[in-house]
Amino acid sequence: MSEAHLWWQRGIVYQVYPRSFQDSDGDGVGDLPGVTSRLDYLRWLGVDALWISPFFPSPMADFGYDVSDYTGVHPMFGTLADFDALVAAAHARGLRVLLDFVPNHSSDQHPWFVASRASRESPYRDWYLWRDPAPGGGPPNNWRSNFGGPAWTLDEATGQYYYHAYLPQQPDLNWRNPAVRAAMLDAMRFWLDRGADGFRVDALRQLVKDEALRDNPPNPAWRPGQNPYDAQLHTYTTDLPEVLTIVEAMRDLLDRYGERVLIGELYLPIERLVAYYGPGGRGCHLPFNFHLILTPWDARRIAALIAAYEAALPPDGWPNWVLGNHDQHRLATRVGPAQARVAAMLLLTLRGTPTLYYGDELGMADVPIPPELVQDPWERRVPGLGLGRDPERTPMQWDAGPGAGFTAGAPWLPLADDYATVNVAAQGADPRSTLALYRRLIALRRAEPALAVGAYAPVPASGHVLAYTREAGGRRLLVALNLGGRAASLALAGRGRALLSTHLDREGERLEGALALRGDEGVVVALDA
């Protein structure tokens, strides 16, 4: 493997949603000691880094994405000593630890906002976005909350509105204020000093808003029944040029700590996404590329997506791919269990850094949540549109015992009905399981520089077949994926040998002239020189 490539270019990131990964104290909610207790599993799986969703002190209006202290640990998740122990244990196993940083907004219970709200003359007033009502009354403009309803809430005591891109309990910070920038960079420095290996930065595109508060224009493509937030084009509330200067400041900070990584959560078109690599590559190391989640599961469309992304990357931009996270329906639910295995091969053989979502390596699916058990504030505010995120956040399924091995208590979200068979213990003992496939794919990626860091080239294919080569050091591998349920074939210009099939039953098979693919099958082939 090329030493010229950094760990985050060669490696694989694994997202841990801490509420749902492992509970160590029986309260039904996962915690940091629980994560520490499962590090050997992550090492066994073969990943290189774990990204942990927020565990900071929070009133939990949005499950930790409403932070009331950027330099602490919520008692539900443990203590700072528990965090230090987790980092030490991870580093001892060769695992990196990435934190979820939430800079766009704080909790309304953060001391900064409490002080800001106290009076118009507060020295913290300008740390948030306060504005007078519109002429004639009402919110200052038409901006909408991501979670439904207006993005402005009136504070009766001071007679002004404050802006919140998400819940009213999540007021947006004013990143135009140098004091805010300094305080937030200090918070990042706090965790870097404790050994954090980098950050995934939440809601990055939203950090700066239009100073003139211009109304967002209507979205002509929006239709009733769709997400009400999308009824507008977010021209004046997202992706403003000033955001890139903030990203550069974050990057400058991380670069002082050596080999750290800055990842940005950015739901943007490809042409805007790649801008976040920054001039001269001084922005995000990895602007998260969610387009595989958002693109229909169709071979031709995915081939076109890969081509467009590869063409748009700047010369110093390292690609990355994501197929699942805590805000999206689970992979197996979106594409079905059979195609989820093909998708795993796609994710782990494309050029660039892959990010896995906990449980996808088992084929975990969305869990239906009865109305009386709904936790997600988005679902509560905009019911009936399928926007709730609880179904993809249910507890990790470790074994067939009580609580699925996740908890000795009552889990905070319901367990899947299939946890007795879809779990780590059962699949770890099954050489043909989805977990076995992930382990084999990860091991193959680690063993083959062509897959980890090699060049990418598309291969002509038709129908439901997607094909490409990866090449490094004179070794060329073919990846052929059948995204359909019927058998298909791909012409081979030469000879080769199958290294891995998603069915886990073709290793060593010699191939010449054509590669036959069963329905819902992917194959990696080592091509003869």
Q: How far apart are CA 423 and CA 31, in angstroms?
A: 20
H helix or E strand, kind and range, residue 527: strand 522-527
Structure-token pair, residue 43:
């090492």
Check if the beta carbon of residue 25 is closer than 8 Å to that of residue 337: no
Q: How far apart are CA 289 and CA 302, in angstroms?
A: 13
Helix axes 178-193, 242-255, angle to 10 degrees: 30
3-class SS of residue 477: strand
Show the DSSP H helices in 93-241 as ranges: 111-118, 178-193
**Nearest to 69, CA basis, from 77, 61, 59:** 59
Q: CA dihedral in degrees (287, 293, 299, 303; nearest 10)?
A: -10
Beta strands in 164-297 (DSSP E): 198-201, 261-264, 286-287
H helix or E strand, kind and range, residue 449: helix 449-453
| Amino acid identity, position 260 | R
| Amino acid identity, position 197 | D
How far lies 215's CA from each of 104, 210, 237, 334, 520, in Å?
Answer: 20, 9, 9, 35, 47
Q: Which residue(s) pair with 455 in the sheet? A: 471
**Nearest to 289, CA basis, from 278, 280, 277:** 277
* Burial (0-12, 13-18, 19+ Cβ within 10 Å), 165: buried
For residue 156, the Cα-to-chain-centroid distance in whole angstroms is 38
Catalytic sites, residue numbers: 202, 265
Q: Which residue(s) pair with 16 in the sheet? A: 52
Q: How far apart are CA 118 and CA 141, in angstroms?
A: 23
Q: How far apart are CA 21 and CA 17, in angstroms?
A: 6
Beta strands in 116-179 (DSSP E): 130-131, 152-155, 160-163
Q: Could you tell me how many helices (H) and strands (E) the chain has, helices first?
A: 16, 17
Structure-token pair, residue 282:
């001084």
* Burial (0-12, 13-18, 19+ Cβ within 10 Å), 402: exposed
Check if the beta carbon of residue 36 is closer than 8 Å to that of residue 3: no
* Burial (0-12, 13-18, 19+ Cβ within 10 Å), 529: exposed
Tokens 């909610």: give the residue.
Answer: 29
User: Beta-carbon neighbour count of residue 336 at 10 Å?
Assistant: 17
What single DSSP character describes residue 277? G
